[in-house]
A and B are shown apart, each in its own frame.
Chain A
Amino acid sequence: MDILGFAFMQRALVAGALVGIAAPAVGIFIVQRRLSLMGDGIGHVAFAGVAAGLVLSISPILSALVFAICGAIAIELLRNDPRTQSDMALALVFYGGIAGGVLLLGFGDVSTINLHSYLFGSVVTVSDNDLWLVSTVAACVVVPSFALRKHLFAIAYDEEVARVSGLPVVSLNIVVALLAAFAIAATAKVVGILLVASMLVLPVAAAQQVTRSFRATAYASMGFGAAAAVGGLVIAFYADVFPAATIVLLSILAFVVASLLSRTRLIG
């Protein structure tokens, strides 16, 4: 049984590799700012977006993107408001997103199968159109993350000093939130809304076990992300298990192995 003989698997592998590269490209700045749960916050809002897409019969990836962008900006603005705390900002967006999504679903006749495919991922149902959309959105994440890396690093490393040095901290934080929203919209179809943020965080967590520099961590995490996505799909294909869960568990396995390797000082 040749895995590449199936068009749907070809599309799935390309989509998986693309989001595997794109998600950690922005995820690394989120991890560095110790905001690993931000992806989940945006993901929950993206759920409301998927619901809106299904009810209105438009592309759920596109509607998830629009909602994720709004959620990302909301989190960033709430975080900067001295009256709210970061975790409170996330909680507001988390529950608002899920409740909004459930409410929206009530307005339409949405099949459970369709909904499930976005909750738990359905990378094997990626169509040609989806693939174009995922590729475009992934490029919209990788290119700015790379181009702005000097400034994003300076801010993620020390926001206060970056502010004093005259960098536009608030605007660039919103840019990171937007990039995260794009990454999440692209990833939702591959691993599902419930696991979407794992692709932003886990490859970075695995990579930093064996790296010494930020630059190496950035490249290694994109490598880990792509490898977990492709590896997870291949295993899922032959073992006939859920691809999304396999990809995420493989990422966690990569983290465990990398952390054991670094502890025994075989690397780094």
Chain B
Amino acid sequence: MAEQESVLRLERASVVLSHQHVLQDVDFRLARGEFLVLLGANASGKTTLVKTLLGLIPTASGRAYVFGEPVERFNGWSRIGYVPQRVTAASAVPATVEEVLMSGRASRVGLLGRYGREDRLAVDRTLELVDLGDARRSPVARLSGGQQQRVLIGRALAGEPDVLVLDEPVASVDLAHQESFAGTIEILLRSGTSILMVAHSLGAVARLVQRAVVLERGRVIHDGPPVDLKLEHAHHPDIGRSA
């Protein structure tokens, strides 16, 4: 059934925030094992779409489904890794890279449980994957913007999710690390992870993208292979512009 194939889905979803229609009648679907990029100009509703999919923002009409279940009833959240849009990964109290990555596994251990060997191994693997092995005991606040971004990606990956949702993850990452980020995405895709990424432009991951959805003023104006996008650029000069 098509419904079982989609891991994240919106069905004619509209979202109203502060009396404004931020999403209008949006149909959206992320298929299992797919790498989908969500594009659009600033304030086109990209982040709102993601938050609606994750149940952080309620729909005014229409529904959101996760693994075929209505989002409000879904409870397998440890299968989802979420990298929100953040200016910084630093917090008011110092924390090391390792501590932040480990917190990505908090929901996997019981309330009174402790992190075990499996958790430490998962964090070790993730540190390698996001290339932060040397910085594991560094306070997050002392890292560069790009490194902090990788900390947030690492936190989501430490939970070993089936679905990864990234909101502008490479906004402050330099070109060399965008390449290494593309390498990480490639590894994840090979292991069967479904990935939804919000971006301003395709950048280094262009060769991996299977489908692109473009939003404009809360409506889907393109849904298909990213090659088609080049045609859209002519009409929507904002879309292809890098951040």
B202 on the interface (CB 8 Å rule)? no
- B81-103 interface code vs A (CB 8 A; 1 in, 0 out): 01010100001111110011011
A166-B78, A212-B96, A214-B95 as given contacts; A153 in contact with B56, CB under 8 Å:
no
B137 within 8 A of A: yes
Contact of B111 among A151, A156, A164, A214 (CB under 8 A): A151
The interface centre, meaning the residue of B76, B96, B115 with most chain A CB atoms within 10 A of its CB, is: B96
Q: Does B10 contact A (CB under 8 A)?
A: no
Interface size grouping (class) on chain A: 20 to 34
Does the CB pair A32–B84 fall under 8 Å? no
- Contact (Cβ within 8 A) B99 A214: yes
Residue contact A211 to B78, C-beta cutoff 8 Å:
no
Interface presence of B146 (CB below 8 A) = no
Contacts of B84 in A (CB 8 A): 158, 160-161
Mark A206-218 against chain B: 1 for CB-CB distance below 8 A, else 0.
0010011111110
Neighbouring A residues of B93 by C-beta, 8 Å: 28, 31-32, 156, 204, 208, 214, 217
A165 to B164, CA, bound (A): 12
Q: Tell me whether A213 and B106 are in contact (CB under 8 A).
A: no
Q: Given B86, B92, B159, which contacts A165 in the complex, CB threshold below 8 Å?
A: B159
Closest beta carbon of chain B to A154's beta carbon, Å: 4
Encoded as 1 (CB less than 8 Å from any B CB) or 0, chain A from 38 to 79 comes to 000000000000000000000000000000000000000000
* Contact residues in B for A148 (Cβ distance below 8 Å): 111-112
Query: In the complex the two chains form, what is the Cα distance from A204 to B151 in whole Å?
Result: 24
With an 8 A cutoff between CB atoms, is B242 at the interface? Answer: no
Q: Which residues of A contact B91 (CB under 8 A)?
A: 32, 156-157
Taking A151-B106, A212-B137, A213-B139 as contacts, is the C-beta distance between A164 and B77 under 8 angstroms? Answer: yes
Give the distance to chain A from B73, nearest Cβ to Cβ, in Å: 13
Contact A154 B106 (CB under 8 A): yes
Which chain B residues border A164 with CB–CB below 8 Å?
Answer: 54-56, 77, 80, 82
Scan residues 109-168 of chain A and give those whose CB is less than 8 A from a CB of chain B: 147-148, 150-151, 153-154, 156-158, 160-167
Q: How far is the CB of A200 from chain B (nearest CB, A)?
A: 13
Chain B contacts for A265, CB-based, 8 A: none
Interface presence of B20 (CB below 8 A) = no
Chain A 187-218, CB within 8 Å of chain B: the 1/0 string? 00000000000000000100010011111110
Besides the contacts A158-B84, A214-B96, what 19 more A-B pairs have beta carbons closer than 8 Å?
A: A31-B93, A32-B92, A32-B93, A33-B92, A150-B103, A150-B113, A153-B103, A153-B106, A157-B100, A158-B86, A161-B155, A164-B54, A164-B56, A165-B82, A165-B107, A212-B139, A213-B95, A213-B139, A214-B94
Chain A residues packing against B (C-beta within 8 Å): 28, 31-34, 147-148, 150-151, 153-154, 156-158, 160-167, 204, 208, 211-217
16 residue pairs bridging A and B, Cβ less than 8 Å apart: A28-B93, A32-B92, A147-B112, A148-B111, A150-B106, A150-B114, A154-B103, A161-B82, A166-B78, A208-B94, A212-B138, A213-B94, A213-B137, A214-B95, A215-B99, A216-B94
